């Protein structure tokens, strides 16, 4: 008999984490693999943030902190939401986690019961459904079409809500599509949610600062204050501040939920590293002008990737407004055969063959719940990205 709990049977390893590990392994074997799998900025953590981490060590801030985070960090988070999102939270409404991923886990484990439904618009970030399953809930997928920039419509949301719906997950800018909901689009969704008081809103805003072309970011709690008593507004320092390895995410919401999440934190990780918390204070309170040049670089890479992908036979790619992903369709390559004689029956076959035969690592659309697509992260050096796109073009050219 297996030692493993039944609830694990529905859960699988994270495909984005797996592809990153696979690319690293092939590289360590001496293969010239270009990894476009990881959703991780290639930029370094800004110096003022690194110094704050070093200073925390030197000053002996190396002991346990409260599970809900240091007072300085909680204040910095409250100030950030006020300053940037016009949201008035109190310090007892703050939870901090070992990355936002852990807070999503804490929120679901605190609230989801057997039979509860969680609406997850597809394409979705790979971890939402598996965390829901781990917590005993049922993810309800709502496919969002490329013609509507992969965005959830008010009608589709309304149709997906049932008496069993506990949460709806909204992620803008979106991983994997890069789509950004405008304030008007969000308002259409929040108008539906106002009518269904049993549904809670999880707003995953981790790509907030990565928007291009003058696009304005908006978050549900800001668009509709009547939803604030059932909205969990979530964010983190991983993406905007290039701090993936520091593992620091944060969330604000109603006190009852936050208290429960902090209790779970106190019974598990206890808290994120004291050093990362000090660095996050510097990130949130400090200047963000470094984002301008970084975002300009991201935008140039996005435009290059979209142009080069659209030149590849069988591929078509929209221009997304945010995050650092593009989500091209590979419909025109499906059914074709590679020069090594492999038949491409799905987007999974496509990315597998691309890795094996052209040494480019991407992630199949199937992992994000919408095929036939694949995700490319352009958070990699411009030279590597250009070379990868050239390889994709050659790979597609060679298909018969």
Positions in the binding site for ligand PMP (CB under 6 A): 39, 99-101, 125, 171, 175, 204, 206, 236, 238, 244, 249
H-helix segments, the chain:
15-28, 47-58, 71-85, 100-111, 127-134, 154-160, 183-194, 220-223, 255-266, 274-285, 291-311, 347-358, 382-397
14 near ligand GLU (CB under 6 A): yes
Cβ distance to ligand PMP smaller for residue 124 or 212: 124
DSSP helix/strand/coil, 46: coil
Among the candidate windows 32-40, 116-124, 210-218, 331-339, which touches ligand GLU by CB under 6 A?
32-40
- For the bound state, the minimum distance from the C-beta of residue 85 to ligand GLU, rounded and expressed in Å, comes to 21
Residue 38 touches ligand GLU, criterion: CB under 6 A:
yes
127 near ligand GLU, judged by CB under 6 A? yes
DSSP annotation of 365 reads: G
Q: What angle do CA 354, 356, 362 make, to 5 degrees?
A: 40
Closest contact distance (angstroms) between CB of 356 and ligand PMP is 26
Q: Which residue, among 155, 174, 156, has the nearest Cα to 215 in the 3D structure?
A: 174
Give the C-alpha separation, 233 to 226, whole Å.
14
Smallest CA-to-CA distance from 221 within 170, 167, 257 is with 170
Residue 375: which of 392, 396, 356 has the closest Cα?
A: 392
Q: Is residue 171 near ligand GLU by the rule CB under 6 A?
A: no
Read off φ and ψ for residue 280, nearest 5 degrees.
Answer: -65, -35
* Smallest distance from ligand PMP to CB 29, Å: 26
Task: Single out the residue of 165, 171, 175, 338 in contact with ligand GLU (rule: CB under 6 A).
Answer: 175
Kindly state whether residue 24 participates in binding ligand GLU, applying the rule CB under 6 A.
no
Candidates 11-19, 136-144, 312-320, 385-393; binding stretch for ligand GLU (CB under 6 A): 11-19
| Closer by beta carbon to ligand GLU, 171 or else 231 | 171
For ligand GLU, the closer CB: 127 or 219:
127
Q: Give the interface segment with ligand GLU, choosing from 37-45, 55-63, 155-163, 392-400 (CB under 6 A).
A: 37-45
Could you please report the per-residue DSSP string of 202-213? EEE-TTTT-B-T
Check residue 17 for interaction with ligand GLU (CB under 6 A): yes
Residue 54, Cα to own-chain centre: how many angstroms? 28
Residues in the site for ligand GLU, rule: CB under 6 A?
14, 16-17, 38-40, 101, 125-127, 175
């Amino acid at each position: 008999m297996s030692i493993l709990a039944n609830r694990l049977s529905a859960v699988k390893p994270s495909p984005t984490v797996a592809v990153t590990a696979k690319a690293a392994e092939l590289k360590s074997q001496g293969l010239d693999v270009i990894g476009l799998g990881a959703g991780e900025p290639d930029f370094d953590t800004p110096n003022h943030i690194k110094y704050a981490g070093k200073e925390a060590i030197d000053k002996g801030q190396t002991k346990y902190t409260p599970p809900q985070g240091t007072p300085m960090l909680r204040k910095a988070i409250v100030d950030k939401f006020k300053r940037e999102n016009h949201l008035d939270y109190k310090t007892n409404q703050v939870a901090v986690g070992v990355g936002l991923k852990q807070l999503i886990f804490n929120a679901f484990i605190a609230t989801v019961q057997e039979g509860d439904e969680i609406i997850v618009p597809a394409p979705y970030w790979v971890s939402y459904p598996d965390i829901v399953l781990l917590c005993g809930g049922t993810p309800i997928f709502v496919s969002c079409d490329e013609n509507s920039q992969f965005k959830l419509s008010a009608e589709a949301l309304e149709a997906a809500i049932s008496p069993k719906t506990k949460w709806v997950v909204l992620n803008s800018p979106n991983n994997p599509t890069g789509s950004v909901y405008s304030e008007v689009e969000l308002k259409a969704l929040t108008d539906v949610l106002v009518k269904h008081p049993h549904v809670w809103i999880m707003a995953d805003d981790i790509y907030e600062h990565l928007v291009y072309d003058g696009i304005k970011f908006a978050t549900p709690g800001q668009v509709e204050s009547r939803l604030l008593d059932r909205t969990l507004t979530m964010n983190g320092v991983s993406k905007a501040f290039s701090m993936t390895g520091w593992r620091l995410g944060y969330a604000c919401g109603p006190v009852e939920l936050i208290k429960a999440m902090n209790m779970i934190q106190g019974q598990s990780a206890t808290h994120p590293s004291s050093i990362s918390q000090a660095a996050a204070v510097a990130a949130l309170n400090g200047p963000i002008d470094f984002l301008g040049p970084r975002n300009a670089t991201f935008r140039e890479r996005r435009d290059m990737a979209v142009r080069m992908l659209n030149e590849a036979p069988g591929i078509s790619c929209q221009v997304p407004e945010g995050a650092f992903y593009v989500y091209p369709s590979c419909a025109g390559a499906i059914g074709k055969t590679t020069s090594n004689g492999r038949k491409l029956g799905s987007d999974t076959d496509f990315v597998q063959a691309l890795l094996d035969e052209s040494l480019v690592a991407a992630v199949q659309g199937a992992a994000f719940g919408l095929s036939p697509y694949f995700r490319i992260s352009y958070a990699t050096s411009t030279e590597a990205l250009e070379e990868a796109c050239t390889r994709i073009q050659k790979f597609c050219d060679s298909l018969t």
